[in-house]
Structure 1
Amino acid sequence: MWRQDTSAAAEPRAKLSRSGLAWALTGIVVQHLTVARIAEGLGVAWDTANNAVLAEGKRLLINEPARFDGVKVIGVDEHAWRHTRRGDKYVTVIIDLTPVRDGTGPARLLDMVEGRSKQAFKTWLNERPQAWRDVVEVVAMDGFTGFKTAAAEEVPDAVAVMDPFHVVRLAGDALDKCRRRVQLAIHGHRGFKDDPLYKSRRTLHTGTGLLTDKQITRLTALFADDAHVEVEATWGIYQRMVAAYRDEDRARGREAMVTDRIDQHRRTEGAHRGHHPWPDAEEAC
């Protein structure tokens, strides 16, 4: 009988491969995918995906006591773990962003705590040794004030910041609100499928360096209408924010973000006077 050694591809008697598990963990922690979406992507049942992810998480976390060593920058966010009415469907995810900040590697999962309250994060921080909390320099989070308050109480010397994902998402939300407001002011109703603003809603969120010729044509036609000038100005600011975060030179990206914030009013006024706020193509790529 001939047998092939598959231990490099998967654990013995495992239902998912090592690469599949790595993809699942990355999807849940970094990309905020649900277990149902993970199961669909892997072509397995929900229970199979859930059990495998939990087991791998425990193996990487609980069996790796050194995971807390050298942590100076932590990120905290909520994740919808289950979509049922039983129990708390959310978990608080804590990751180590030190390697990302220092440019030495990707983020690392530190822990997942049931619930998404201030108390959940505060309790987790309080369970860490004081010496560990004293070296935490930055806590990155979303806009939830509970996380910020917990960090202020348990790691008061750390700087609380909003992570780029949520900053860009808030900017995108502002762009959507502006589009809807202008749509209502012009047409007196919410967007219909044939309304230019509604048809462009996804294109407006696409980075300028990723736009197809068809999308560029659509935006050019959209912004040619003076009634859409406020949307054009807001879109230009949104794209500049994305470009600043994508800049490989962090110092230059930070400078661009500060400059944009100071110069925001000038660009908006320029748009009202008919100046074009499209970001420079090279800068936005």
Structure 2
Amino acid sequence: MAKPIFSTPDLTTFCRLDTLDLTCIGQHITGHKAILECRPNTTDNWCRRCGGHGIVRDTVVRRLAHEPFGHRPTTLHIRLRRYKCVECGRVWRQDTTAAAPPRAKISRTGLDWALRALVIDHDTVSVIASKLAVSWHTANSAILAEGRRLLINDPTRFDGASVIGVDEHVWRHTRRGDKYVTVIIDLTPISQATGPARLLDMMPGRSKQVFKQWLKARPKDWRDGIDVVAMDGFSGFKTASVEELPDAVEVMDPFHVVKLAGDALDDVRRRIQQETTGHRGRAKDPLYRARRTLHTGADLLTTKQQESIAGLFADSSFTEVEVTWAVYQDIVNAYRTADRNEGKKLLRTVIDALATNLPTGLVELKRLGRTLKRRAADVLAFFTRPGTSNGPTEAINGRLEHLRGSALGFRNITHYIARCLLESGGFRPVLHSQLR
């Protein structure tokens, strides 16, 4: 602002107390906290039972945590008059529902700030509770309840989805209970190049029935609007999608196809390692030293790495590794080909070659060939559906891993799902438009 227009300082406006129907009448500020004394703007001196007039009986103070100012926890001390009806004897106090719901410990503005800090700034609940000067449980319960009311329970948040991704996610690394959840991602913004992917929903467990029941619970017109479902090689997700979304196209994304080929390469490398040395890989073993280089695209290898690979395959004992490596490189090159039709043709050639006339000893390639042959339609569908990949799903899984690390783990899966939705549900634009 080049030429600002100044007005008389007003603590009520500065601290956004006017939105709570309060007026600031005093302050107490130290280096560690700030207390603002307030009074309601409404008198409310009539009885709602009989309509009689009320006389002032006494004054009480309601304390509310408020959004922090100057890195100090700010508390509102609201001085409330209590009235007694001269007709029926009923006692009541001034209404403060504009400032906070009944029995709440955080003001509405403070709760808006807390939800914004969690969703937009990615603060932990512990940090938010410290800035509000309330307990962790008070902050967590209030934020999750407001997040569900304002964001998660919004029925329109599923609207506009036409491309979705499904994957599994490990929500805890303990032996007690089910450690997996099924994650549903909206990939429509990626396919339309309008923005990042967003987390749609999570369900406990990983099975065909979990995904099937979730799809069945969605409205029919929503299911009819789904064109593509991106997934990994798990057949349960495939079957559930076929049964509940008969018009959708299932796509096995490049990430998991390349991973299957990479796993086959690792398996044959370990097997040959055992057969030639009698032990697992050690630092000086040539196969072990080349384990990462083998997973690098051939066009990205340095001159030194190319010489290393050539020297490795000069040993006839490693022929099976060389053949598997060549197949892995062919699959990678098919996805890297600029012309999608050419890439589809290359990958189809690889799948057909793996399905026929493989030597008996190449057990890893035979297993890979059976998988790719069975899911050939889903694998090749990627080339006719540009922008369809479960890569953004894996990216969101990584963000959820970070969330779990920041929170030092979760014990309650309901809270975990709610926190994940607030973390990665794409609610930032909603917050900017809806919150005060």
Smaller-chain TM-score bracket: 0.5 to 0.7
| 1:108-127 paired onto structure 2 within 5 Å | 108-127=198-217
Amino acid at match of 2:275: A
Indicate whether 1:184 and 2:274 are aligned. Answer: yes
Higher Cα Rg, which structure = 2
Where structure 1 has 5 or more consecutive residues not aligned to the other structure, the ranges are: 5-10, 25-46, 270-285
Indicate whether 1:141 and 2:231 are aligned. Answer: yes
Q: Distance in 2 between matches of 1:265 and 1:123?
A: 35
CA 1:19–1:246: 2 relative to 1, 3 Å? farther
Query: 1:171: how far off?
Result: 0.7
Q: Distance in 1 between matches of 2:255 and 2:306?
A: 25
CA 1:87–1:182: 2 relative to 1, 3 Å? closer
2:428 corresponds to which residue?
A: none
Q: Distance in 2 between matches of 1:59 and 1:212?
A: 55
Amino acid at match of 2:222: W
Amino acid at match of 2:158: F
Query: 1:65: how far off?
Result: 3.8
Amino acid at match of 1:150: A
Q: Distance in 2 between matches of 1:70 and 1:198?
A: 48
Q: Distance in 2 between matches of 1:59 and 1:222?
A: 61
Indicate whether 1:242 and 2:324 are aligned. Answer: no
CA 1:123–1:263: 2 relative to 1, 3 Å? closer
2:166 aligned counterpart, secondary structure: strand
Query: 1:63: how far off?
Result: 5.7
Contact 1:61 1:111 in 2 (8 A): no
Query: 1:161: how far off?
Result: 3.0
Where structure 2 has 5 or more consecutive residues not aligned to the other structure, the ranges are: 1-28, 30-68, 72-111, 125-135, 360-436
Q: Distance in 1 between matches of 2:148 and 2:334?
A: 37
2:296 corresponds to which residue?
A: 206
1:91 aligned counterpart, secondary structure: strand
Query: 1:217: how far off?
Result: 3.3
CA 1:241–1:125: 2 relative to 1, 3 Å? same
Query: 1:116: how far off?
Result: 1.1
CA 1:131–1:198: 2 relative to 1, 3 Å? same
Contact 1:77 1:142 in 2 (8 A): yes
1:88 corresponds to which residue?
A: 178
Contact 1:61 1:110 in 2 (8 A): no
2:314 corresponds to which residue?
A: 224
1:274 corresponds to which residue?
A: none
143-152 vs 97-106, which moves further: 97-106
Query: 1:231: how far off?
Result: 1.2
2:159 corresponds to which residue?
A: 69
Q: Distance in 2 between matches of 1:173 and 1:126?
A: 34
Alpha-carbon displacement from aligned partner over 1:200-230 (angstroms, at most 9, x marks no partner):
1122112334434443332222122232222
Q: Distance in 1 between matches of 2:119 and 2:247?
A: 42
Q: Distance in 2 between matches of 1:206 and 1:105?
A: 30
Q: Distance in 2 between matches of 1:96 and 1:187?
A: 48
Amino acid at match of 2:170: A
Q: Which of the numbers 251, 261, 267 marks the counterpart of 1:161?
A: 251
2:257 aligned counterpart, secondary structure: helix
Greater relative CO, 1 or 2 (CA 8 Å, sep 6+):
2
1:109 aligned counterpart, secondary structure: strand
1:44 corresponds to which residue?
A: none
1:84 aligned counterpart, secondary structure: coil
Q: Distance in 2 between matches of 1:163 and 1:129?
A: 26
Amino acid at match of 2:249: V
Amino acid at match of 1:62: I
Looking at secondary structure, tell me which structure has more helix per residue: 1
Query: 1:83: how far off?
Result: 1.2
CA 1:227–1:265: 2 relative to 1, 3 Å? farther
Q: Distance in 2 between matches of 1:105 and 1:191?
A: 44
1:98 corresponds to which residue?
A: 188
Aligned CA-pair RMSD: 3.7
Query: 1:129: how far off?
Result: 0.5
2:172 aligned counterpart, secondary structure: coil
Amino acid at match of 2:281: G
**Equivalent residues, number:** 234
Query: 1:61: how far off?
Result: 5.8
Q: Which of the numbers 164, 169, 172 marks the counterpart of 2:262?
A: 172
CA 1:265–1:86: 2 relative to 1, 3 Å? closer
Query: 1:152: how far off?
Result: 2.3
Q: Distance in 1 between matches of 2:346 and 2:197?
A: 25
Query: 1:170: how far off?
Result: 0.8
Looking at secondary structure, tell me which structure has more strand per residue: 2
Q: Distance in 1 between matches of 2:250 and 2:203?
A: 20
